[in-house]
Structure 1
């Protein structure tokens, strides 16, 4: 099943794209809640390139790597990637109200669809706040 989340960022497309694809930025916004953070990020933004974000609980009790391979890149428009046996697409579209960032991803069986939607939406909301704070 595919799940979709989205936000509209009030910033120019080049700023939105850069914040989404730059490791230093990713470390600042990539968390679903205040008790998690991203301690390391790497990005090889090209088709066939790899990415990895190390996500850890702030109390040090657990962590995991979110990693995969970029399968399609259209600058300022689209990022497609695979992670494990799942895939995701990030679409960027300029609108009169800013840049709409829409993430569509394959669900997984360990968590409910609602839990997955809420978690990914929280990360995207953090992304929006991060870009807004940089303006």
Structure 2
């Protein structure tokens, strides 16, 4: 699971973290029973306040995405299943609209934008294979 925070994104850090974990669960990258990093470990990795990570985890637990197991930590709820393809669109639609707007404002044509996506998709896929 790859998590990162975007300092340029006006979305609060705790919400960025929540959104990313939900996307990983919806896509099946995080499966039922998968353990998440401890609050301290994730806070250190993302260079954020442990209370912010704890708040994100708690909200996800309150909404049924995660469950806290005594002595084990947080894990994906056993009732969570990957979303159907049309439901997954919800998790990328906002970012996609923002990207299209930014590309258009920067003067990219539709074909240039698609080429840019494909180039970065290939790089991302190669980086993921190395991890």
Give the alignment's TM-score, normalised by structure 1.
Answer: 0.33
Q: Looking at CA atoms only, which structure, 1 or 2, has the larger radius of gyration?
A: 2
Name the structure with the higher strand share: 1
- Greater relative contact order, per chain length (Cα 8 Å cut-off, separation 6+): 1
Name the structure with the higher helix share: 2
